[in-house]
Amino acid sequence: MKGIVFNVFEEFIETIAGEEFFDDLLDSTVLQTQVPFVGPGTYPDADLMALFTAAVERLGVEPGQALKQFGQFLFHKLIATGPQYAENVDLRQFLLSIHTVIHVEVRKLYPEAITPEFTYDESDDHLVMHYRSARQLWQLAEGLIIGCAEYFNEEITIETQTYDDDPERCSFTITFNGNSEH
């Protein structure tokens, strides 16, 4: 996973639990990486998972919920690296562009990046996003979508469907409820 995700994870944990908590976490977790995580670098997913697992254990929070909250936080940091992607498009168009534009550009910039696959089903009322990734991070994807709606100031509801026979897949049915009040 790219260093930016590690860096934002650090920021997320520091925001909710403080710098000291993160420093302790780093000191007491066995990692493959022995150097500081930097944005453009690429590091083992196992290191991110080790930090994440240690953090949720210590904080006593539910892992899926924590991953979703991290996704929500992460969206705002990712879009800050390419705000032009969110210009002149509405939320639906933006979500449709993740697979065909944004993640394509990410992989051009960082050939070692591995982004999930999204396929879409569209109707007037809904957008269905089908997620597939060997990383099985669908709660992260859900959180990213929530963060995205927040960024566009739009109210959405998401109906999430997981597949018992395939943990690499998940489908999100998104309903657009218009502009949010705040």
The correct pick among 15, 53, 81, 161 for binding ligand HEM (CB under 6 A) is 81
The correct pick among 140, 156, 170, 174 for binding ligand HEM (CB under 6 A) is 140
Q: CA-to-CA distance for 5 and 78, rounded, in angstroms? A: 9
Q: Which stretch binds ligand HEM (CB under 6 A): 15-23, 25-33, 52-60, 79-87?
A: 79-87
127 lines the binding site for ligand HEM (CB under 6 A): no
Q: How many residues does the chain have?
A: 182
Backbone angles phi, psi at 40, to 5 degrees: -75, -10
Annotate each residue in 87-126 with x if it binds ligand HEM (CB under 6 A) or - if it does not, as one string. Answer: --------x--x---xx--x------xxxx----------
For residue 164, give the amino acid letter.
D
Number of residues that bind ligand HEM (CB under 6 A): 27
- 167: Cβ contacts below 8 Å, ≥ 6 apart: 136
127, β-bridge pairs: 122, 174
> Cβ 83 to ligand HEM, closest distance in Å?
9
Q: Judged by CB, which is closer to ligand HEM: 2, or 52?
A: 2
CB 61, CB 35: distance < 8 Å: no
